[in-house]
Chains A and B, each alone.
Chain A
Amino acid sequence: MEFLKWLEHSGIGQWIKTDPFGFPLVLCAHSIGLAGVVGIVYMLSFRVLGYSKGIPIAVFERIFYIGWAAFILNAISGVLLFIGEATHLISNWTFWLKMFAIAAGGVSLWALWNALMGGPERTTPQGVVTPRGKAFAVLCLVFWTGAIVSGRYIAFTLAEAKEKELMVSTGASPKAPATAISGAGQ
């Protein structure tokens, strides 16, 4: 906890928290990266599930370069967002749900790619779409969508936690339950 406090009060943490450009700039990067990563995962999954079969699956090996660039952008902006709210996020269940969804989404994508392009005899431009491959494509859709949804809810659970904290510290009597709308602006 001391380390997390130190992170939040570091120069970077304060830049994210207080600079008028800090938080919006990092969020901009995070949403562009999101569109890149999840957009590519969605397109591959739809292709594997039978949509637009004229697209050779092997081309995704090169499209993944963009996917990796977008993922790195989001890893960096994600770490910065964490630093700005480290003490709150460490105990935020939607944050950990998002981390789980990303990990599970990554494993699913890796498993999908192995199912498509695994053995040397399978490496044709069209790949080999097996029922197993389709199952992994569905898992990719579920987990990466889950990452978006849980990520969006972090804004709400975070706002709620801070509101509660404020009420405790000011000794205010608990009024109506914190409305979910309070996180909408983040």
Chain B
Amino acid sequence: MTEVQVLHWIQHSSLGELMRRDGWLFPACQALHFIGMSLLFGAIGLADLRILGFFKSIPIPAVLKLIPIAIAGFALNLTTGAAFFASNPYQYWPSPMFKLKMAVIVWAGLNALYFTLAEHRRLSAVGADFEPDFQSRVLAGTSIVFWLVVILAGRLLPTFEGSTSFLDF
């Protein structure tokens, strides 16, 4: 299938039809998208700050227990995000800001995946006075910056609606 055929199929999927049919559904999904954002950013931001060395009275394993909240927030936003996209794929697909947002989400996801595979198990078993090493801190710092960029790029999506370059909005 060509790019246009895929976009056409997505637009005419039952999700796309549903999003366009009910006027209240789009704003409701947007509200959910902001709630998911707060869950994701609140949980991952606190975990990242702790790993970076702030709030040292929180034991590392305790702060890692927040990660399922972040995953729940991400799942909520993946679902509502897919619904926005299906409602009008041609509006999102060419936008440079949409591409940036998706790229940074993939980066942040790979960052989180690497952390999960390489560090999570080890850090979940450490004692109360353990401090993470340099690699963990780099991953945490990268994570918090990436998610901030994702929020900003998302907020700027409407500004770049209909443009195909960052220089034209």
Across the interface, which residues of A come within 8 angstroms of B24, CB to CB? Answer: 180
Check if B61 is an interface residue, CB within 8 A of chain A: yes
Identify which of B27, B66, B156 gathers the most chain A CB atoms within 10 Å of its CB: B27
- 12 pairs, A vs B, C-beta closer than 8 Å: A27-B155, A35-B41, A39-B45, A40-B46, A41-B42, A43-B69, A51-B65, A52-B63, A54-B61, A59-B55, A62-B55, A184-B27
Size of the A side of the interface (Cβ < 8 Å), in residues, is: 42
Is the CB–CB distance between A43 and B65 below 8 Å? no
Q: Which residues of B contact A40 (CB under 8 A)?
A: 42, 46
* Residues of chain A within 8 A of B23, CB atoms compared: 179-181
The answer to whether the Cβ of B62 comes within 8 Å of any Cβ in the partner chain is yes
Interface residues of B in 54-93 (CB under 8 A from A): 55, 57-59, 61-63, 65-66, 69
Q: Measuring CB to CB, which residues of chain A are less than 8 angstroms from any residue of chain B?
A: 20, 24, 27-28, 31-32, 34-36, 38-43, 46, 51-56, 58-59, 62-63, 125, 145, 148-149, 151-153, 155-156, 179-181, 183-186
Given A181-B26, A184-B26, are A152 and B34 also a contact pair (CB < 8 Å)?
yes
Query: In the bound complex, do residue A55 and residue B151 qualify as a contact, i.e. CB atoms below 8 Å apart?
Result: no
Q: Is the CB of B55 within 8 A of A39?
A: no
Closest B residue to A185 by beta carbon equals: B158
Docked-complex contact A28 and B156, CB < 8 angstroms: yes
Query: Does B30 touch A at the CB level, under 8 Å?
Result: yes
Interface size class of B (residues with CB under 8 A): 35 or more
Task: Tell me the number of A-to-B contacts counted with CB atoms below 8 Å.
Answer: 108
Q: How far does the alpha carbon of A186 sit from the alpha carbon of B156 in the complex, in Å?
A: 10
Given contacts A42-B42, A180-B24, contact A52 B66 (CB under 8 A): yes
- The residue in A20, A27, A41, A43 that gathers the most chain B C-beta atoms within 10 A of its C-beta is A43
Majority SS at the chain B contact face: helix
- Is the pair B63, A55 in contact by a Cβ cutoff of 8 Å? yes
In the complex, the answer to whether B155 meets A24 with C-beta atoms within 8 Å is yes
Chain A hits for B169, CB < 8 A = 20
Contact with B35, one of A24, A52, A148 (Cβ below 8 angstroms): A148
- Across-interface contacts of A46 in B (CB, < 8 A): 69
A20 neighbours in B (Cβ, 8 Å)? 169
> Which chain B residues lie closer than 8 Å to A58 at the CB level?
57
**Nearest CB to that of A30 among chain B residues?**
B155
Q: How far is the CB of A95 from chain B (nearest CB, A)?
A: 15
Q: Please, which residue of chain A has its CB at the minimum distance from the CB of B45? A: A39
The verdict on B118 contacting chain A, using a C-beta distance below 8 Å, is: no
C-alpha gap A76/B158 in the complex (Å): 22
B27, A42: Cβ atoms closer than 8 Å = no
* B58 → A minimal CB distance (Å): 5
Contact call A24/B156, Cβ cutoff below 8 A? yes
A34 touches B30 (CB 8 A): no
Question: Which 9 A-B pairs have CB atoms at the shortest separation, nearest pair first?
Answer: A39-B42, A54-B62, A52-B65, A38-B38, A180-B23, A35-B41, A185-B158, A149-B31, A24-B159
Q: How far is the CB of A10 from chain B (nearest CB, A)?
A: 23
